Amino acid sequence: MNTFKAFEDILKKYIGDKAIYELPRRWSEKTRFYHSVNHLIQIIEDIEIHPDFKYLNIYEKHALLLAAFFHDAILNPRRQDNEDKSIELFVVSFKAKDIKMLDTVCDLIETTKHRVRPTNKLQRIFWEADNAKFKAGYDTLLKNEKLIQKEYSFLPKDKYKENRIKFVESNFGLFGTSVDKDLKKLLEFIKKL
C-alpha cells in the first residue's frame, strides 16, 4: 500500500500540491533508517488502534494524520531542530484557512520533542503512537537502536553513546516497569558499543 496515495484526498484538503509531491521523497531519503516510511506507517497504524480513536471526530482524526505525515518530514541527524523545521514545513505547506487546524497540528508535532506524557487527549494519542515501539519488547528496541545508529553513523562512537544513553535514561518511568527492564538491557548494549 502506498501510504501517500491512500491519504492523498485528506492531504489535498489541507496542504499544497508541492508538499504532497515532496512528502514521499522526504520520507524516503537514503539517510533514513529508523525514521523512514515504515515509521510513518507504524504511527498511523498505532493512532488508528488507540482505544480513544473511535471516539474522535473527523477533524481530530485529520489533525493526527497531518501530524503523522509532517512530524519527521524534515530529518537531518546533524541538526537538533528537526521538529521545529518540520513544523515550519507544515506551516508553509498549509493551504486551508482553518487556523485552529494549523495550530493543533503544530502542537501535536511539538509534543514529540518532549519526554513527558501529555495530558491533552490528542497530544497523548499522537505521543503514544510516536513512542509505541518502546512497548514492543527488547528485540524491537534493539532492532530500532541499530537503525538509529545508522542514521547517526557520522558521529564519533563516544559521542553517539553519550547522546543515546541520555535519551534512553530520559524514558525510564514513562512506559511501566517491564519497559524499564528492557531499557536497562538496551543501555547495557549501548555502553558496550
Whether residue 104 has pLDDT greater than 80: yes
Q: What is the pTM of this model?
A: 0.95
Angstrom distance (rounded) from CA 75 to CA 68: 14
Nearest Cα neighbor of 12 from 112, 95, 129, 125 is 95
Closest CA to 67 of 51, 50, 91: 91
- Give me the pLDDT at residue 128, please: 97
Q: Give residue-wise pLDDT tens across range 33-87.
A: 999 999 999 999 999 999 999 999 999 999 999 999 999 999 999 999 999 999 9
